[in-house]
Copies of this chain bind each other. A is one copy, B any other.
Amino acid sequence: MTTIRDVAQLAGVSTMTVSRVINRSGYASEAARRRVDRAVAELGYVPNAVARQLRSKRTRTIALVVSDITNPFFTVIARGVEDAARQRDHAVIFVNTDESQTLENDYLRILMGRQVDGVLLVPAGNSAEPFRLLRSQKIPVVVLDRRVQVRQVDEVRCDSEAGAYALVRHLIGLGHRRIAAITGRRTIATAVDRVAGYERALTDAGITHDPELIRSDSFSLSGGHRRMQEILGIGSRPTAVFAANNFIAFGALRALREAGLRVPDDMSLVTFDDLPEGWQEEPFLTVLAQPAYEIGRRGAELLFERLEGPARPTRRVIILPGELIVRRSSGPVPSPGPRPRQ
């Protein structure tokens, strides 16, 4: 490995001069500059960032902690984060917690050890522990996607309550009055907020909500599938379903198809989360598209602001609007009478 000393030797100057030339800091004569540049090129010298980090106490590295990078929503967030980080010459370490608080905790300790400058976190639970941990080492954190109980933590997310409201109001506009909701675990704030928006839409329309129509499970295919089956089993079926995320929606869709029901002819279906163009053949679901890329990008920028000027004690919460995209999965209430299937 070639070090700054090798360069200094070849250029016939001290290591300090090399350092100054490389970092464009301080003075250096034109002659010295040229000789150093030549030596650097000749040796193929690349400064050792680790040594630099040890000296400067900054790693120019941030971490993105999500539940599963395989979820398209988080993937797009990751891309937003990466683009913002590149602009500021920072690297990004990604980790997946699989929604496990234990794993999250383990990872945060590792990341702290690695001296990351900041953390973008999609919290696996609603504990304050991770924030205490990070604060104990003075590592700034920005929470993405989820609302959190902890005070004094910056957040960037989509407005879940308003988004759910828009989706359900759309259904009500189509004439639906019995509308089911399938949401995630109530320990995750988004699951709660989306139900809140759903309930407010019903209330505003003068519809009393039937607790039997609200189901909670994991934000997963199997969760959506299971709860949709349950809903199909109850006495007076709803005519529409609001799914709290894309996985739940696909699970529900599967259950509907298995039951021989057509969407939207027999049942309307709307959901949170759109898929990026290119990941779907022909968009079909009426969705509330979250600005995932922006959540990532702005989250990272908020973090960089903290890193550069830590003297800004005020907490910041950025709530981005979602976009209602009406497609073919939502339609008018099916006419009563004999079911249209044989």
Task: List residues of A whose CB falls within 8 A of some B CB.
Answer: 1, 44, 46-51, 53-54, 59, 61, 68-70, 72, 75-76, 78-79, 82, 91-96, 109-110, 112-115, 136-137, 220-221, 246-247, 250, 253-254, 257, 275-282, 284-285
Contact = CB atoms under 8 A, between A and B. Distances in A.
B113 A46 contact: yes
B93 A114 contact: no
Given A49-B115, A136-B44, A82 B69 contact: yes
A121 to B, nearest CB: 16
Q: How many copies does the complex hold?
A: 2
Contact of A50 (B69, B82, B115): B115
Contacts of A82: 69, 94-96
A3 to B, nearest CB: 12
Contacts of A47: 113
Nearest to A251: B278
A196 to B, nearest CB: 26
Contacts of A53: 50
Contacts of A220: 278
Given A69-B78, A93-B91, A94-B92, A114 B279 contact: no
A199 B277 CA distance: 30
Nearest to A138: B1
The 10 closest A-B pairs by CB, nearest first: A49-B113, A49-B114, A50-B53, A46-B113, A70-B79, A221-B278, A75-B75, A46-B112, A50-B115, A50-B54
Contact of A114 (B91, B110, B137, B282): B91
Contact of A115 (B48, B281, B284): B48
Contact of A78 (B46, B94, B275, B282): B94
A293 to B, nearest CB: 9
A221 B94 contact: no
A276 B70 contact: yes
Contacts of A254: 282
A53 to B, nearest CB: 5
